[in-house]
Amino acid sequence: MSTDPNAKYQSPLTSRYASPEMAANFSNNKRFGTWRRLWYNLAAAEKELGLPGISDTALKQMHANLDTIDYAVADAEEKKRRHDVMAHVHAFGIAAPEAAGIIHLGATSCFVTDNADLIIFRDAMDLLINKLVCVISALSQFAETHRALPTLGFTHFQPAQLTTVGKRATLWVQELLWDLRNMQRARDDLGFRGVKGTTGTQASFLALFAGDHEKVEQLDALVTEMSGFSECYPVCGQTYSRKIDVDFMAPLASFGATAHRIATDIRLLANLKEIEEPFERDQIGSSAMAYKRNPMRSERICSLARHLMILIGDVLQTASVQWLERTLDDSANRRISIPEACLTADIVLTTLQNVVEGLVVYPKVIERRIRSELPFRATENFIMAMVKKGGDRQECHEQIRVLSHEAAAVVKQEGGDNDLIERVRACAYFAPIRDDLDELLNPATFIGRAPQQVDSFVAKHVAPALEPYKHIIESKKPAELSV
């Protein structure tokens, strides 16, 4: 068997895209190191509560070997026993021989597997939240910078009334703020499975403490606290309820929808040549068409976001088919779906930050498109101006209608430029407002309260939401992509 890593399949999530910190969070070192910490916490708490047979030397040996995992020993034992937890109990016992007889005392496999998962999931969400607030901060700055830059709005991807580049960005930021709320809530709602025994009754621990219910409750609370949680789930079967996985994954799936929407908008705007994602000096857009500047980062976001959005289906199905106190058909699925969701969300966030921090705006292109469409949008202003000068609203409407259709025919049938303004200037009927046309066509008069809305939104909603994460944002580094 070849030891060349390129001779076997590697997940692109870790080999190609994911950040080192998120990849490390789901590594074997993190998982099995967390198992050992949980075994140490359990033994230390049992000793503290007076359980005999646990020596100081045993605890010292356990503590000294929390991260010195002999995978060869563990793998050989698992191959023989077909049980990963007992394989690592055996490996830990060899590393800490004085503790070999008390490791995992009173516990079931889910004491380490489930509690470790909850720790790893919480740490993963912390990483994601830290990245999300940096994206929100960067995109909010973009919105403020372009708060008053008029741009053509689109509904149904057809030209509509004007907005501003910054106001459009606030639509993206608002959805990201909801994602931040959802992720923080999911993170804070994570509890600890605790010390519950094989079917959740704590019978083994009650036996260890000779029927002392209070000691068992103290043990549960103490191990929970030692493991970094303020509370544990009050009841469970052998596992914590897999509905918790649904609550954890739902915000990630929802964020996937947000990211897909933002990246799609950027791709559409790139096609219009109004906004582009960063394009590096030596980057190649197409192997055949050398002139191309493909929005590959935004396309990657969309591609991965679709994967992120569907993974919640796995945990929904798993939660729905858990029988009674538990079944093992959750295990293999969860090993894939939940880490992949966190890794994918991490990649999407890094890529999104990279895009947002490097967005390029082309005001002249935006201005040109406004000039081509604004005459039609300004017709209502022409009518109101004529009425103020004594004109008849209905007659004016008819005059504008005829001229508009003539100009539209030039654009659509002849491929010419929109000449509505020239037609209005040349029309004797509109002589009373001829000198006012330039002001009536000023794009800044068509954007309503868009700049003020940006200011208010950032001050009243973005700033308070980001305040708890100020230290993270201040220490953030530019998001760099390896590919």
- Strand ranges for 360-422 from DSSP E: 360-361
**Would you list the DSSP string of 235-269?**
--SSS--THHHHHHHHHHHHHHHHHHHHHHHHHHH
- In the three-class reduction of DSSP (H, G, I as helix; E, B as strand; rest coil), residue 135 is classed as helix
Token pair belonging to 362:
């082309």
Active-site position among 15, 83, 213, 286 = 286
Known catalytic residue: 104?
A: no
Residues whose CB falls within 8 Å of the CB of residue 213, separated by 6 or more in sequence, listed in order:
206
First to last CA, the chain: 30
Residue found under tokens 């004085």 = 98
* Neighbour-count burial of 409, counting CB atoms closer than 10 A to its CB (0-12 exposed, 13-18 middle, 19+ buried): exposed
Residue 316 to residue 253: CA distance in whole angstroms:
12
CB contact burial 87-118 (16+ within 10 A = b; e otherwise): bbbbbbbebbebbeebbbbbbbbbbbbbbbbb
User: Is 286 a residue of the active site?
Assistant: yes
Give exposure, 44-72, as e/b (b: 16+ Cβ within 10 Å).
Answer: bbbbebebeebeeebbebbeebbeebeee
Q: How far is CA 441 from the centre of its chain?
A: 41
Q: Which of 51, 135, 50 is nearest to 101 (CA)?
A: 51
| Amino acid identity, position 450 | A
Longest dimension (CA), the chain: 105
Those residues whose C-beta lies under 8 Å from the C-beta of residue 148, and which sit 6 or more positions away, are: 164, 166, 444, 447, 450, 451
417: how many CB neighbours lie within 10 A of its CB? Answer: 12
Is residue 172 within 8 A of residue 135, CB to CB? The reply is no
The two tokens of residue 47 are 């000793």
Give CA separation, 52 vs 60, 107, 362, in Å: 16, 16, 74
Instruction: Give CA–CA dist 160/172, Å, rounded.
Output: 19
- Active site residue ranges: 156, 286
